[in-house]
Structure 1
Amino acid sequence: MTHNPALLAVALLWTGVASPVLAQGVNGHGSMVGMEMGSTKSDAKDDASTREFKAADTAMMKDMDIPYIGDPDVDFYAHMIPHHKGAVAMARVALKHARDPATRAMAKKIIADQVTEISDMEAWLKRHGR
């Protein structure tokens, strides 16, 4: 089994970012209003890919800021759909700007997998009257 250092770095970063968010949800404070999102603010020095990644992050976080209803099945899908859509948006930015063949291949795989999963999750919600 080979390890992708870039993927590991993203996983570690996500773990560090996700922990406070998960802790808020566990405590019943699912809203992310007021959370520091400084890393997603555009800076005049940002290159095009950084601006586009930050825009995708901001949109994803906004779309994920929906209330939990206390139904773990519905809550899971309702929050994972915008999360997956954010992943697709970021993968599209990577396809537009990345040069490394492995990065581009991963972005294509993420788009293919996540689009299918989004469709499956939306269908589940529809079947369950949501």
Structure 2
Amino acid sequence: MKRISLVLAACALATACSPQAEEPAVAAPEAPAAADAHGGMEGGMAAPAPGDSVATQGYKASMNTMMEAMPAFTGDADIDFMKQMRGHHVAAVSMARVELAQGKDAQARNLAQEVITAQEREITLIDAWLAQKGASAAPAA
């Protein structure tokens, strides 16, 4: 049950951080937030900060890469879901690899490996589905 809660929380966070929300549930801030002294968010991106650990650098890079690579919405709910989900899955695999490289806790490392296995399988399914629909999995350049 804890794993499901973690996955749901991660999905909610990733969705909230998506740079291309069609209709925000709440009004967007007037100006992007500035990075704080601890490497907070700057314009939706995780800004590097002095003293970031190797793991923090890796997690921030994963999130920034995801945000930059997200494809534009097409207006087709199914294709948009699959493309956006693919981007989130790629980021999840990247973050899990950071955990395996830097983490020490056995439960966290086990979950990271499970995330990699599940998300890579789902990326393969998404890619096949998109190919069947004639939609490219690659983000628009």
Q: Same fold (TM over 0.5)?
A: yes
Q: Which residue of 1 aligns with 2:57?
A: 51
Q: Distance in 2 between matches of 1:22 and 1:60?
A: 10
**Which contiguous aligned blocks of 4+ residues in structure 1 show a shift greater than 6 angstroms?**
none
Within the alignment, does 1:88 sit opposite 2:88 as a pair?
no
Q: Which residue of 2 aligns with 1:128?
A: 133
Q: Which residue of 2 aligns with 1:30?
A: none
Measured after TM superposition, the shift of residue 100 of structure 1 is 0.5
1:1-130 alignment runs, 5 A limit: 3=2, 7=6, 11=9, 15=12, 18-19=15-16, 21=18, 24-26=21-23, 36=33, 37-38=41-42, 40-64=46-70, 66-130=71-135
Q: Distance in 1 between matches of 2:61 and 2:111?
A: 20
Q: Is the 8 A contact 2:93 2:116 kept in 1?
A: yes
Q: Distance in 1 between matches of 2:128 and 2:15?
A: 27
Q: Is the 8 A contact 2:66 2:91 kept in 1?
A: yes
Q: Distance in 2 between matches of 1:23 and 1:78?
A: 12
| Secondary structure, counterpart of 1:90 in structure 2 | helix
**TM-score when normalising by structure 2:** 0.72
Q: Distance in 1 between matches of 2:115 and 2:97?
A: 9
Q: Distance in 2 between matches of 1:126 and 1:60?
A: 21
User: Percent of aligned pairs with the same residue?
Assistant: 31
Q: Could you list the runs of 5+ residues in structure 1 that have no partner in the other structure? A: 28-33
Measured after TM superposition, the shift of residue 68 of structure 1 is 1.1
Q: Distance in 2 between matches of 1:45 and 1:92?
A: 21
Q: Go from structure 1 to structure 2 and tell me whether the alpha carbon gap of 1:96 and 1:16 turns closer, same or farther (over 3 Å shift).
A: closer
Q: Could you list the runs of 5+ residues in structure 2 that have no partner in the other structure? A: 25-30, 34-40, 136-141
CA RMSD, Structure 1 to Structure 2 (Å): 2.9
